[in-house]
């Protein structure tokens, strides 16, 4: 079941449209994204690098840059410790390249997902100490490594943290007590004392901001730091960060640069995925290129992905890029098998009564637990934890739904975990195997989710008749991009759309093409990429098999649907025509 809701936020759409030379429909969508003030509307529509916040506003950014500058001048050894996902890979690339530009003595270490787990650990610190490392610089991790950093300080090392994850805390009698770190400098916009206006930066963006301050202190032109914007954009989308405010600017600017990228690894990855540089947008970051980088950290080692971006020989980069594409195909197959196992677990273990799903699949590869959790969340629309057997106990990932802060709820039962961390919408955890059942019981006992919260909501931006849509309007909607988390593609709806004919298309018979008739009697073309069998069954149950057969044969039928759609321009042999991509129907 779905609940269709029309967003009905008020504003003078006519005035906004006239002021910014946009259609009232576009003005309404901007208001639906909670962009209200004139300056915010201007930045949303026209924001550029000049509108980015001053990196000096980040707490400890200047202090961290000063320490790095001193270490560089005294030729002290610096080790960057990143993470094995796309954000960690991009952060590592940015920091190492920048520090080498500053003549630093620098090395990198990417934790192994299986043997090391996420972020700093005692072994990585001990290895750095054995290697004679003076300074550890983290990126996309470190904020939760309280004990590990204390260990590094006992060994006499300097520890610098750049991160974007939530600050760890303990819930004591309803009061939130934040844990203190002994790091020499911490740059993370989530720190309570941090005055930085925008809190949703990814790890690579935080690292880049630090580089901006460092370059400024060393007299290196800002234009050199701009070269990293393609990496920041890639990480922002790939790490599923909010595409609001400053992040929209970072991604827009990064996409411009990636269209002309000179990085051999990036160019090779784009080519191996069958794409052209000029066509890359946020969708490709999130669903085509990004998964290839993440696959290396999941099934092999993220060091291979890091190597790709440091590679200067295009032919060698192409070999690595091809390996990552192949790994991603393997990851897709493993994910499909894992989702099927998770559905079986749900059905066999009485999970339908649970508001929060805790699914234990001991035999799946731990690296795909998060992806499986996301798929199961989509299927049942509940917060989901997927756990698997690890070297010590169980390990897994969680994916949440709107209105349920997964990280905060986990903090309420943190005594069950050996390690955990994350965001409101996603989390990672490790725990003894014997605690899985206890965790399932307690996380559900704590869950205050209502039936309404557990019903997926389709938020419609504008109820808009198909007849209103023009090619010019569809082109204008492009200014709302990049689309992604918190800035989705606009959602429109129309009712009483008559279906004149439907055809099943595609090599795998997985696309429905519809010849439709609008309320004014005009022809329109619809396309549906969802579950074809479910769509046909819905038509048959609601209108009868005779009507379904008539539509399939192109004979006049009485089928009328309410649809949620997004309009697109289909170009064929130089001719542009409107096409309506149907997302939901009833």
Question: Residue 175: what pLDDT?
Answer: 85
* The pLDDT of residue 271 is above 70: yes
Question: What's the rounded mean pLDDT across residues 353-376?
Answer: 95
Contact 271, 318 (CB under 8 A): yes
Least confident stretch, 43-47, 102-106, 113-117: 113-117
The share of the chain scoring above pLDDT 70, in percent, equals 100
* Mean pLDDT over each residue of the chain, to the nearest integer: 95
Question: Residue 285: what pLDDT?
Answer: 97
Give the tens place of pLDDT for each residue, 148-181.
999 999 999 999 999 999 898 887 877 888 999 9
* The pLDDT of residue 29 is above 90: yes
Identify the helix (H) or strand (E) that includes residue 73. Answer: helix 61-73
CA 224 to chain centroid: 27
Contact 245, 201 (CB under 8 A): no
Token pair, residue 291, equals 């998964």
What's the pTM value of the predicted model, to 2 decimals? 0.88
- CB count within 10 Å of CB 57 equals 15
Give the tens place of pLDDT for each residue, 37-58.
999 999 999 999 999 999 999 9
| Pairing label, strands 457-460, 105-109 | unpaired
* Torsion sign across C-alpha atoms 579, 233, 89, 266: positive
pLDDT bin (cut points 50, 70, 90) of residue 361 is: very high
Question: What's the rounded mean pLDDT across residues 423-439?
Answer: 93
User: 3-state class of 511 per DSSP?
Assistant: strand
- Lookup result for tokens 């990636």: 258
Nearest Cα to Cα of residue 297 among 254, 257, 327: 327
Q: How far apart are CA 100 and CA 106, in angstroms?
A: 7
The share of the chain scoring above pLDDT 90, in percent, equals 88
Identify the helix (H) or strand (E) that includes residue 305. Answer: helix 302-310
* The pLDDT of residue 518 is above 80: yes
* Torsion sign across C-alpha atoms 71, 72, 74, 76: positive
Question: Residue 299: what pLDDT?
Answer: 67
**Which DSSP string corresponds to 398-464?**
EE--TT--HHHHHHTTGGG-SEEEE-SSEEEEEE-GGGHHHHHHHHHHH----TTTTS-EEEESEE-
Question: What's the rounded mean pLDDT across residues 440-460?
Answer: 95
| Domains along the sequence of the chain with CATH | 3-9+457-585 (2.40.50.460), 55-218 (3.90.1640.30), 349-446 (3.10.310.30)
Question: Residue 173: what pLDDT?
Answer: 79
Q: How far apart are CA 295 and CA 268, in angstroms?
A: 16
What are the helix (H) ranges across 312-381?
314-348, 369-380
Give the tens place of pLDDT for each residue, 201-221.
999 999 999 999 999 999 999
């Amino acid at each position: 079941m779905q609940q269709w809701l029309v967003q009905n936020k008020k504003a003078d759409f006519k005035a906004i449209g006239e002021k910014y030379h946009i259609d009232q429909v576009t003005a309404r969508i901007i208001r639906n994204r909670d962009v209200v003030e004139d300056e915010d509307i201007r930045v949303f529509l026209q924001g550029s690098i000049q509108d980015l916040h001053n990196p000096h506003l980040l707490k400890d950014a200047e202090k961290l840059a000063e320490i790095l500058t001193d270490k560089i001048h005294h030729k002290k050894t610096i080790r960057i410790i990143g993470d094995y996902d796309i954000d960690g890979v991009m952060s590592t690339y940015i920091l190492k390249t920048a520090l080498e530009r500053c003549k630093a003595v620098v090395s990198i270490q990417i934790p192994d997902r299986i043997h090391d787990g996420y972020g700093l650990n005692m072994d990585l610190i001990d290895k750095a100490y054995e290697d004679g490392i003076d300074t550890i610089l983290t990126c996309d991790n470190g904020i939760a490594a309280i004990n590990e950093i204390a260990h590094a300080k006992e060994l006499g090392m300097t520890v610098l943290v750049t991160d974007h994850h939530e600050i760890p805390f303990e819930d004591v009698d309803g009061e939130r007590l934040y844990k203190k770190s002994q790091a020499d400098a911490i740059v993370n916009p989530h720190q309570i004392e941090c005055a930085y206006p925008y809190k949703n930066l990814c790890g690579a963006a935080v690292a880049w901001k630090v580089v901006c301050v460092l370059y400024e202190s060393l007299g290196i032109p800002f234009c050199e730091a701009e070269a990293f914007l393609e990496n920041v954009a890639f990480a922002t989308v790939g790490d599923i960060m909010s595409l609001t405010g400053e992040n929209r600017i970072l991604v827009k600017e990064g996409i411009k640069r990636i269209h002309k990228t000179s990085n051999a690894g990036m160019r090779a990855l784009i080519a191996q995925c069958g794409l052209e540089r000029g066509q890359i947008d946020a969708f490709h970051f999130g669903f085509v290129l990004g998964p290839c980088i993440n696959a290396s950290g999941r099934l092999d080692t993220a060091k291979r992905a890091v190597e790709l971006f440091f590679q200067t020989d295009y032919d060698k980069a192409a070999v690595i890029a091809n390996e990552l594409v192949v790994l991603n195909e393997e990851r897709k197959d493993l994910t499909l098998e894992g989702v099927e196992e998770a559905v079986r677990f749900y059905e066999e273990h009485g999970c339908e009564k649970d508001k929060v799903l805790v699914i234990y699949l001991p035999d799946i590869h731990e690296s795909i637990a998060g992806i499986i959790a996301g798929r199961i969340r989509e299927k049942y629309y509940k917060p989901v934890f997927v756990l698997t057997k690890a070297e010590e106990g169980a390990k897994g990932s969680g994916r949440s739904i709107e209105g349920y802060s997964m990280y905060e709820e986990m903090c309420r039962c943190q005594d069950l975990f050996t390690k955990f961390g994350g965001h409101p919408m996603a989390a990672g955890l490790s725990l003894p195997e014997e605690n899985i059942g206890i965790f399932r019981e307690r996380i559900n006992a704590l869950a205050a989710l209502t039936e309404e919260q557990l019903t997926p909501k389709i938020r419609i931006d504008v109820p808009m008749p198909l007849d209103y849509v023009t090619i010019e309007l569809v082109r204008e909607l492009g200014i709302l991009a990049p689309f992604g988390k918190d800035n989705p593609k606009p959602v429109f709806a129309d009712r009483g759309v008559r279906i004149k004919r439907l055809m099943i298309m595609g090599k795998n018979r997985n696309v429905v093409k519809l010849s439709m008739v609008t309320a004014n009697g005009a022809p329109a073309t619809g396309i549906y990429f969802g579950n074809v069998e479910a769509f046909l069954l819905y038509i048959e149950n609601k209108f009868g098999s005779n009507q379904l057969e008539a539509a399939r044969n192109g004979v006049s039928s009485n089928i009328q649907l309410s649809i949620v759609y997004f309009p697109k321009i289909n170009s064929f042999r130089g001719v542009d025509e409107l096409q309506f991509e149907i997302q939901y129907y009833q």
